[in-house]
Amino acid sequence: MLCAGPGGGSNDVQWCFSQVKGAIDDDVAEADIISTVEFNQSGELLATGDKGGRVVIFQQEQESKNKLQCRGEYNVYSTFQSHEPEFDYLKSLEIEEKINKIRWLPQKNAAHFLLSTNDKTIKLWKISERDKRPEGYNLKEEDGQYRDPNTVTTLRVPVFRPMDLMVEASPRRVFANAHTYHINSISVNSDCETYLSADDLRVNLWHLEITDRSFNIVDIKPANMEDLTEVITAAEFHPNQCNTFVYSSSKGTIRLCDMRAAALCDSHAKLFEEPEDPNNRSFFSEIISSISDVKFSHSGRYMMTRDYLSVKIWDLNMESRPVETYQVHEYLRSKLCSLYENDCIFDKFECCWNGNDSVVMTGSYNNFFRMFDRGYQQDMTLEASRENSKPRSVLKPRKVSTGGKRKKDEISVDSLDFNKKILHTAWHPLDNIIAVATTNNLYIFQDKLN
């Protein structure tokens, strides 16, 4: 497993442009807006979901024997329509087809399985390859038409013959009617049999084989909705302990629950919360403290949370405060009013770990994304843009000018484009390859191999 550093120090890693997927047009169709990005456990497959309910899966080419030191490119492997818009006639509500989350199941055979979810329904998809087809039927012609039985005088055994590779995506399970509020998270358990889904007020536990029932394990809905003060914003199973999961809230707290303690996990086992700094109190304190994403480290010892302005690393053994805090774009603190007006303050940024948990990454505005090296305590800002999209071109670190004087190559805060935001990022589990989603494009970067 490679050791990755964002830049600077003795373990310098230079990030290079590799590929960009998606339309070049500046006129972005809303259906093409990428809403989730996820590598599978091996990193061979990269799945994206968009607002139009589509899932596109990219597969990494096998590394060429002739081209050593060169990673394979990601090409389209499968595309399918996962969710369609629906209408709830009882509540007169339209259900968006937008894919909120995709999670891969650990691979057990030749086929690949993933879970995709919109606001209300989770689906299990099987992605399999077909490179053979049976030929020599007795009752049917090759084109499928039935033969006249009177013409059948002999019998033969159909045989499989090679055909062009075809990738099929088929829905194997549909998990519906279990969420009243909008689903924000799904997470596969390490037991590979169950998974959880979370909406604003509840967390449900499912078995992958059973679609007609789920177990509600967390319910924070108050008896009187007028007493509602917080909602669930994200949830995830522990990577190793199948009995443990966490869920974050809009109040900036994270609760760790142990399913062995009780069937209903309303009472947390641990509560992670950092006291608010009274000096930073503002009209928008509640908004910027709301956690938009929570991710366990691969080791399972730490978890990372993302709120509007920062990324925090928590040690599961210490609840009182995070062990590390990284400011993503602190210069936006004085702009919160404008960001509230244009709704940007409600953007939900995600975060991710690298393979060995030494570096974390998250997105920002102006198509910037940030990396924080935990070991070397260094950070770097990079940009995903078409201007820097020459093959294998090294990305130049970017800097936002916060003071009065702007240096050359720096960009001022007022010049940031808040319509260009990177909400979704993913890091290859085993290699220094990252996938960064702009509005409707997917950028793939990798470290420069010497």
Partner 1 sequence: MECAFEAQNLISISLRKIQSSRTQRGGIKLHKNLLVTYVLRNARQFYMSKNLSQMQRTNPYEDVTVVRERQEYLEWTGSFTELADDFYCNFTGVESDTWHCGAHQPNGQPAEVAHQGASACAIDSPSDSDLMVSDACWSCADKSSWELSIPNTQANQKTVLDLDTHVVTTVTNGYFHTDCCAQPKQPQGAQCYTKKRKIDISYHIVDPEFYLPDFAPVPCKRMRSDDDSHSDSDQLDSTNISNLISVLGSGGLSEFVSWQQTDLEQIFASQTICLKHTLLTGSGWTRAIEAF
In the bound complex, what is the minimum distance in angstroms from residue 301's beta carbon to partner 1?
Answer: 29
Q: Please, which residue, 57 or 122, has the CB nearer to partner 1?
A: 122
In the bound complex, what is the minimum distance in angstroms from residue 304's beta carbon to partner 1?
Answer: 20
Per-residue burial over 39-56, b = 16 or more CB atoms within 10 Å of its CB, e = otherwise:
bbeebbbbbbbbbbbbbb
- Residue 243 interacting with partner 1 (CB under 8 A): no
Length of the chain equals 450
Q: State the number of CA atoms in the 13 A half-sphere of 35 facing the CB.
A: 23
Residues 285-304 that bind partner 1 (CB under 8 A): 285-287, 290
Q: Please, which residue, 124 or 178, has the CB nearer to partner 1?
A: 178
Q: How many distinct helices (H) and strands (E) make up the chain?
A: 2, 32
Residues 145-184 that bind partner 1 (CB under 8 A): 177-178, 180-182, 184
- Which of 10, 66, 68, 91 forms a contact with partner 1 (CB under 8 A)? 91
Kindly tell me the sign of the dihedral angle through the C-alpha atoms of 187, 189, 190, 194. negative
- Residue 223 interacting with partner 1 (CB under 8 A): yes
- Which of 41, 64, 334, 393 forms a contact with partner 1 (CB under 8 A)? 334
Residues 261-280 that bind partner 1 (CB under 8 A): 263-264, 276, 278-280
Taking CB under 8 A as the binding criterion, the range among 17-25, 103-111, 334-342, 363-371 that sits at the site for partner 1 is: 334-342
Give residue 295's identity as a one-letter amino acid code.
K
* CB neighbour list of residue 126: distance below 8 Å, 6 or more residues apart: 111, 112, 113, 168, 169, 170, 171, 172
Strand partners for 437: 424, 442
Which of 338, 293, 300 has its CA nearest to residue 317? 300
- Residue 250 interacting with partner 1 (CB under 8 A): yes
Taking CB under 8 A as the binding criterion, the range among 5-13, 91-99, 371-379, 388-396 that sits at the site for partner 1 is: 91-99
The burial class, CB within 10 Å (0-12 / 13-18 / 19+), for 66 is: exposed
- Which of 41, 138, 170, 229 forms a contact with partner 1 (CB under 8 A)? 229
Per-residue burial over 151-181, b = 16 or more CB atoms within 10 Å of its CB, e = otherwise:
eeeeeeeeeeeeeeeebebeeebebeebbee
Q: Please, which residue, 114 or 345, has the CB nearer to partner 1?
A: 345
| Residues near partner 1, by CB under 8 A | 90-91, 93-96, 98, 119, 177-178, 180-182, 184, 200-201, 204, 212-217, 219, 223-226, 228-231, 233, 250, 263-264, 276, 278-287, 290, 333-338, 340-341, 343, 346
